[in-house]
Amino acid sequence: MRVEVIMPKMGESLQEGTILKWHKKPGDKVQKDEILLEISTDKVDTEIPSPASGILAEILYKENETVAVGTIIAYIETEGSAVFETGEGKGVETKAEEKVVFEEKPYTGVEEIPARTKRFYSPVVREIAKREGISIEELEKIPGTGHGGRLTKNDLLNYIEMKKRKVEVKPKFEPVKEIEEVKLPEVKPVEEVYPEGKVEVIEMSHVVKAMAEHMVRSVRTSPHVSAISECDMTQIISFIERNADEFQKREGFKLTLTPFIADAVVKSLKEFPLINSSVQGDKIIVKKYINLGIAVATDYGLIVPVVKNADEKNFIGLARAINDIVMRARNKKLTPDDIQGGTFSITNYGVFGNIIGTPIINQPQVAILGVGAVKKRPVVLTKNGEDFIAIRSIAFLTLSFDHRIIDGALGGRFLERVVYYLENFDFKGVI
């Protein structure tokens, strides 16, 4: 029989995906669950396994084409089911099959619109058009960059942005010109010329492009302020060194600093719920649940998968959940739902030896914690009224926060609470 390969729905809010790479070509044998292709959404790159064993008979969409969810993108012939040519000109005889043609439905909007267009509009495009009040006539005139000229979500969003920029707001009263307006000469950007053969041009991956856009949007959205505190990690580092082998034998993965930090953050967020919120217009949305984003550096870029309902997990539950999402992130096994819905994020640049950083807030969150490298330092301690110098394992913690709703006092108190829980960690239940 002929098996359809469908563009999968990778998340509740995602309606399309871009084919990044086909791992097989027509005529190649493929096993069930073997990686067949890679796709990219607005959120993450994902490897898609083959739904059946057989031979890849036909590829309907090429690499870099964007396809709506639910669309057939390829066919796999199982043994003894169809006639097709391999790369060597050898065919497999099977029953001929009539090609099924899927009719694409036109955009309808809120009310009934005559189906006079043959152009396909995905559900997300229709929803955006409905929300922005764009008529079918206007929609038809927008150039599309998708397959066959299809209008993608990004095409529509770019059109809406350009349309808003062109709107002129006229003042109610003509301003009084006190001085003659001076027109500056137009300065054209200078295109840099590189020595021939001395540079390498690297195309951004979909993940890097998405992350770049996300970071720029975050800086434009939130006025960033950072607070930095010292944290004595001596007891935690000593505990990890003493119990690392036993923990790994029992759990099957290494005991690291990350779950300790996550546990301290969860306890602190419960005491300072405004840090676990987001901003919508002039409203503050305080979340009654804690979804922790954990920044992970991978071979294909930085990604922030989310530990859902972290407030409902004990230390071991957090450690297991963090290890699971980190491993799946590095092996490209995440789904878009795995990186959505975060309420607070943690990034540990200390693993690269950096001691201090000022991370960018992961929108629409309002704060992010950065963790520097743990270094042994001479520290002045006080005991029984006497000062003395001791060698302690110290890390610098940085909290970047959205100054629209979090002032320095709240941000500073929250950060010091995280420090308190780390320096006075309760190790019961860890081993």
Catalytic residue numbers read 403, 407
Q: Look-up: residue for tokens 């066959």?
A: 148
Residue 73: helix, strand or coil by DSSP? strand
Angle at 282 between CA 280 and CA 287, to 5 degrees: 45
- CA–CA dist 178, 92 (Å, integer): 85
How far CA 24 is from CA of 62, 119, 195, in Å, comes to 12, 30, 38
- CA–CA dist 232, 396 (Å, integer): 9
Q: Is 331 exposed, middle or buried (0-12, 13-18, 19+ CB in 10 A)?
A: exposed
- CA–CA dist 83, 91 (Å, integer): 6
Can you read off the two tokens belonging to residue 224?
Answer: 């960033």
Can you read off the two tokens belonging to residue 342?
Answer: 């975060």
Q: How many other CB atoms are found less than 10 A from the CB of residue 185?
A: 5
- CA–CA dist 411, 398 (Å, integer): 10
Mode of pairing for the β-strands spanning 344-347 and 367-371: parallel
Mode of pairing for the β-strands spanning 29-30 and 45-49: unpaired
Q: At 333, which amino acid appears?
A: K
Of 106, 162, 160, give the one whose Cα is nearest residue 129.
160
Residue 379: helix, strand or coil by DSSP? strand
Question: Residue 225: phi, psi to the nearest 5?
Answer: -130, 145
Q: Is 68 exposed, middle or buried (0-12, 13-18, 19+ CB in 10 A)?
A: buried
Residue 362: helix, strand or coil by DSSP? coil
